[in-house]
Structure 1
Amino acid sequence: MHTLLLQSLFPLLLITSFLSINVELSLSQDDLQYANCSEDINCGGIGGISYPFWGVNRPNYCGLPGFEVKCVDNAPMINMSNINYRILKTNDSAPSVTVARQDYWGTICPTTYVNTSINFSLFNYPSGLTNLTFYYACNTTIPGLQVNLTSQVCSTNNGDIAVLSVPRSLPVDLVALVTRACTYGVIVPVFSTAAQAVEANTTTIQDAVDGGFELGLEINNVQCNSCVESGGKCGLNTTTGGFSCFCLDQAYATVCNATAPGAQGMSVPCHSLINY
């Protein structure tokens, strides 16, 4: 009798098992996106690098186009206009990131002379920054210039060349004299406090450059904050190119469903939120 009962129940058990496996696989896919985007990038001891950044251990759907991070020589880097910028720290509340030019890291003698150039569709310059200008291949004896400039020497394949660092307080007409006396000029942003310390001789130019500068992020931080507050992880819908909030049960366009596993609950219903 037990054998007959098992035989009659076998098709039902088979169907139930099949449905259970499919549900688990579906949940696993959703869990994978949530789990992957829960991981921050950690490279060279610099951690906490998350949305909108992706790369290294974070798939592309965990961030936005243009914010790829690579771990190069044990340092997190972003690249703009073929210039690598070393990430020093991030500030999620701003949101912003502090970076330093990799070609000027530990030296003011780069192999090429290129101005700092950022993608203004992704980043912006906040207040509190000052441009330092480095002039290369200079005639250190400049007629009409009665100001002592910081001069160093860079060794190149074409021999040693003089490098002049121009202080912020130099008048425009004297800057023009320096510009005419030098072959190349490169602008490198630094924090204004660092520039002031250089002029006061309380820090070195190299320390000011290595301290980097801040870049604001051109992202909808309110949208991401709403997702995180609902228990989700911010990401990208790779099909539509729009925002995606990855939750434990599935991905949503704005915030996690209040009844979803792991959701924190929102005081504002989903349909009343603006979907940017």
Structure 2
Amino acid sequence: MHTLLLQSLFPLLLITSFLSINVELSLSQDDLQHADCSEAINCGGIGNISYPFWGENRAKYCGLPGYEVKCVDNVPMINMSNINYRILKTNPSAPSVTVARQDYWETICPQTYVNTNIDFSLFNYTSGLTNLTFYYGCTSINLPGLNSSFSQPCNTNNDSVTYVTRSPLSDPVTNGFCKHGVNVPVFSTAAVPLEANPTTVQDAVDEGFELGLEIDNVQCKNCVDSGGTCGFNTTTVGFSCFCLDQAYATVCNATAPGAQGMSVLLL
């Protein structure tokens, strides 16, 4: 009798055990996603590199496409149009990030001459910036429409470099006065003193420039305020709020207006 009873209960016990294991695995996965995305990127001591950024110790699902950060020689960098930009600081409340061109870091004589190219689907220029235009291989430092008194040799390309903080009346490259021209944004407060003191040009470039992030910061704030961490759902290709119990579309409360529970798999 007891044997028959045990035999009849055995399938039920297996099912119960299987469900229990799956629940534990699911909770473990949610805990991992929540914990992973709670951590900022650990590189170079620059704080607050978190959502929408991902990379290094932050999984891909912790950020948005295009915002990958790589740690190069202990320097956090993002890449746009094959140009590396080093992250100098972040301002999550704006949200914004201050960056500097790696090829112009501590030098105004880069190996190649490429204009600053920003992906405007990810970033935007904030106010208070000025284009610092570098001209290379000029026949004269007296550029048409603007008298520049600064000139420095660049041994890497056998060219000299001069710069202007205001646009000339005509393009020196088009008119054949210079071989190349490159725009590098800097803070306007750093650009103004350059006309009186050209030797501070490298300091202005190394100070970088600010980029605003093209994200819905309110959406992430609401998620964090509810106890979650912000991330990305590759299945729905949209925002995801990782919570301790599961992932939600908005905040960590499945009964909240507009909140919808959804399953998010580890990548």
**Do the two structures share a fold, i.e. TM-score over 0.5?**
yes
- The answer as to whether partners of 1:40 and 1:47 remain within 8 angstroms in 2 is yes
Percent of matched pairs sharing the same residue: 71
- Determine the structure 2 residue equivalent to 1:207: 203
Which runs of 5 or more residues in structure 1 are unaligned? 260-268
- Check whether the contact 2:150–2:198 (CA below 8 A) recurs between aligned residues: no
| Range with greater deviation from structure 2 (66-75 or 132-141) | 132-141
Alpha-carbon shift at residue 35 of structure 1 (Å): 1.0
Other-structure match for 2:263: none
Q: Find the aligned partners of 2:130 and 2:143 in 1 and give their Cα distance.
A: 27
- On the 8 A contact 2:144/2:168 being kept in 1, the answer is no
CA separation of 1:20 and 1:171: change in aligned 2, threshold 3 A: closer
Compare 204-213 and 38-47 and name the one that shifted more.
Answer: 38-47
What's the Cα RMSD here? 2.9
Q: Is the 1:139–1:162 Cα contact (8 Å) retained in structure 2?
A: no
- Length-normalised TM-score, structure 1: 0.83
Distance 1:86 1:199 in 2: 26
Once the 2 structures are TM-superposed, how far is the Cα of residue 17 of structure 1 from its aligned partner?
Answer: 4.5
Residue matched to 2:236? 240
Q: How many aligned positions are there?
A: 257
Moved over 6 A (4+): 143-146
Which has the higher mean CA deviation after the structures are superposed, 134-143 or 112-121?
A: 134-143
Q: Provide Cα deviations, 1:167-205, integer angstroms capped at 9, x if missing partner.
A: 33x7525x6499631100000000000101323429710
The answer (yes or no) to whether the contact 1:145–1:177 under 8 Å persists in 2 is no
Report what 1:129 is aligned to: 129
CA drift of 1:47 comes to 2.4
**Matches for 1:105-254 after TM superposition, within 5 Å:** 105-140=105-140, 142=142, 147-156=147-156, 160-168=158-166, 172=169, 176=172, 180-201=176-197, 204-254=200-250
- The question of whether the paired residues in 1 share the 8 Å contact of 2:146 and 2:168 is answered with no
Supply the distance in 2 between the matched residues of 1:233 and 1:139 (Cα, whole angstroms). 56
Matched with 2:100 is 100
Confirm or deny: 8 A CA contact 2:131 2:185 kept in the other structure: yes
**Cα 1:251–1:71 shift into 2, 3 Å:** same
Inter-partner Cα distance in structure 2 for 1:15 and 1:146: 81
CA displacement at 1:92 relative to structure 2: 0.6
> Are the structure 2 counterparts of residues 131 and 248 from structure 1 closer, same or farther at C-alpha, using a change threshold of 3 Å?
same
Q: 1:242 to 1:195 in 2, by over 3 A?
A: same
Alpha carbons 1:62, 1:235 under 8 Å: kept: yes
Give the Cα–Cα distance (whole angstroms) in 1 for the partners of residues 129 and 141 of structure 2: 30
Amino acid at match of 1:36: D
**2:54·2:67 contact (CA, 8 Å) conserved in 1?**
yes
